[in-house]
Amino acid sequence: MADHTSIPGARTPDAPDAAPAAHEGISRRKLLGTAGATGLVLGAAGGAVGYTAAPSEATPLTSLGAGQAMFHGKHQPGITEGLQARGHLIAFDLTAGAGRKEAAALLRRWSETARRLMAGEAAKQDDTDVARDAGPSSLTVTFGFGHSFFARTGLEKQRPVSLDPLPDFSSDHLDKNRSNGDLWVQIGANDALVAFHALRAIQKDAGSAARIRWQMNGFNRSPGATAHPMTARNLMGQIDGTRNPKPSESDFDQRIFVPESPSKDPEWMANGSYAVVRRIRMLLDDWEQLSVKAQEDVIGRRKSDGAPLSGGGETTEMDLEKTDAQGNLVVPINAHARITRPDQNGGAAMLRRPFSYHDGFDTDGVPDAGLLFVCWQADPLRGFVTVQRKLDRGDALSKFIQHEASGLFAVPGGAAEGEYVGQGLLEG
């Protein structure tokens, strides 16, 4: 877990009720459009309105429900957006006999479903109505290709070098059945039913072309749960994400996205990114036995506000040379925040966009909980691998975590209007 930043948006009060609209049997898509035309007040995020369970009483969405991400664009959604309250990660393998043609048809179906659901519309086929009361709720659906996908589709020559398997690390305790996969889908939303609705639609769309390899569920703090927007906390209680690269930084794109040219990556990866996915279990019973001071020394930051132990506030630059009265470094030499700094790793950086998870308890009462770590970078060898190798050599946090599943996926750029994700690869 590296020391970077993400800030969720604040929630505003619900908008006032609107005049009755719609009739029995009207479609969700038509009702959304009709309600908008009659002058309903939108939530602060804007972009859509929804309806209640009673079709005769349309009411505007809250700001949480009205949030809408765009499917079409230069980059796929779900990379630069703020953290969402709910998430699902799911990997598929193509079925026996399914190849390039079937994969292309599947990505076409998936892209159309993602576009519709992200716009607050029903799925094209057999919609389950799970999300019929809700707006888009900042839903994002993101698609990627695993290393094995290219051999199964006869596209080995188009497989990026950057997709070579990750090396082994000392903290790995990997379950191969919950790692990798031909295809990967990331779903995020600020409403649990909206997220599940998308998950179910994607799974149904797979049809006979692909079968589920593994699936994981995660969560974050809901937007508006704090008095003001702030960096998220993880299940260790630490503010987690302070030094995340920001889109406003001049070198953000070159760190996170594959350039259009020149590039060592194939043309179809232009404006795409590489996602490293790790299920990182936190050994919470051991962690929680530490004093707050000991926990802060492990991380290198104050637990209360995320400020570096060298002083200041959360965003204050860490003073790596500062010592106490006894001459000891204030930020310990093996502190997690010290080791993961880009200036300690040749400028290596990655955009972290994780979800926490809790999958119950072992038979002895130990929580199976931790982080669904997802990080984005233009080059995983320079990003994740560089930092993880450094962590392997002496991170104080390593005693309290273990990596239990892993995956690396090539995530192509966004789809233009009328196109589907991965079209440049599958029809190039």
CA-to-CA dists, residue 223 to 62, 83, 375, angstroms: 12, 9, 21
The torsion of the CA quartet 289, 290, 292, 293, rounded to 10 degrees, works out to: 160
**What phi and psi values does residue 145 have, to the nearest 5 degrees?**
-115, 135
DSSP 8-state code for residue 250: T
DSSP 8-state code for residue 218: E
From CA 39, how far away is CA 54, in angstroms rounded? 19
8 Å CB contact between 142 and 76: yes
User: Would you tell me how many other CB atoms lie within 10 Å of the CB of residue 272?
Assistant: 28
CA-to-CA dists, residue 54 to 58, 59, 118, 131, angstroms: 8, 10, 23, 14
The 3-state DSSP class for residue 272 equals: coil
The 3-state DSSP class for residue 253 equals: helix
Tell the residue number behind the tokens 């992200």, with chain if given: 118
First to last CA, the chain: 37
Nearest to residue 118, comparing CAs of 203, 182, 29, 52?
29
8 Å CB contact between 195 and 88: yes
Q: Where are the beta strands (DSSP E) in 39-176?
A: 86-94, 140-145
How far is C-alpha 148 from the geometric centre of its chain's CA atoms? 22
Token pair of 318, please? 């860490």
The torsion of the CA quartet 221, 291, 345, 242, rounded to 10 degrees, works out to: 30
From CA 143, how far away is CA 279, in angstroms rounded? 18
Burial of 381 (0-12, 13-18, 19+ CB in 10 A): middle
Enzyme catalytic residues:
240
From CA 141, how far away is CA 90, in angstroms rounded? 11
CA-to-CA dists, residue 34 to 31, 37, 39, 223, 402, angstroms: 5, 5, 9, 28, 51
8 Å CB contact between 376 and 79: yes
